[in-house]
């Protein structure tokens, strides 16, 4: 769910954050890797300020940038 008026993205299980270091990564329960990578990149382009995930801590500032930066390494 994207709430552009609030700058918030709820990514569910599509994207996760590592509990160890907060690294943003594709959700591990997705079976179609090419599709989930495409979905992650599309969500990154929404340019949200805050991103919340089904697993791991949220990104609380400049989330769109963090997601785009992470997407280049996927």
Q: What pLDDT, on the 0 to 100 scale, is given for residue 46?
A: 94
Q: What pLDDT, on the 0 to 100 scale, is given for residue 51?
A: 96
CA distance 5 to 26: 25
Element holding 63 (H helix, E strand)? helix 63-71
Please state whether the predicted TM-score (pTM) of the whole model is above 0.95.
no
Q: Please give the backbone phi and psi of residue 13, each rounded to the nearest 5 degrees, phi first.
A: -95, 5
Q: What pLDDT, on the 0 to 100 scale, is given for residue 22?
A: 84
For the chain, what is the domain count? Answer: 1
Provide the residue range defining the domain that includes 16: 2-71
Q: What pLDDT, on the 0 to 100 scale, is given for residue 3?
A: 96
Sign, Cα dihedral of 13, 3, 50, 40? positive
Q: What pLDDT, on the 0 to 100 scale, is given for residue 71?
A: 80
Residue numbers of the chain with a pLDDT score lower than 70: none
């Amino acid at each position: 769910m994207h709430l552009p008026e609030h700058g918030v993205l709820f990514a569910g299980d599509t994207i996760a954050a590592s509990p160890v270091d907060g690294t943003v990564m594709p959700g591990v329960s997705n079976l179609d890797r090419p599709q989930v990578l495409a979905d992650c990149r599309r969500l990154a382009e929404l340019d949200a300020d805050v991103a919340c995930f089904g697993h791991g801590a949220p990104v609380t500032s400049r989330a769109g940038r963090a997601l785009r930066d992470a997407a280049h390494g996927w």
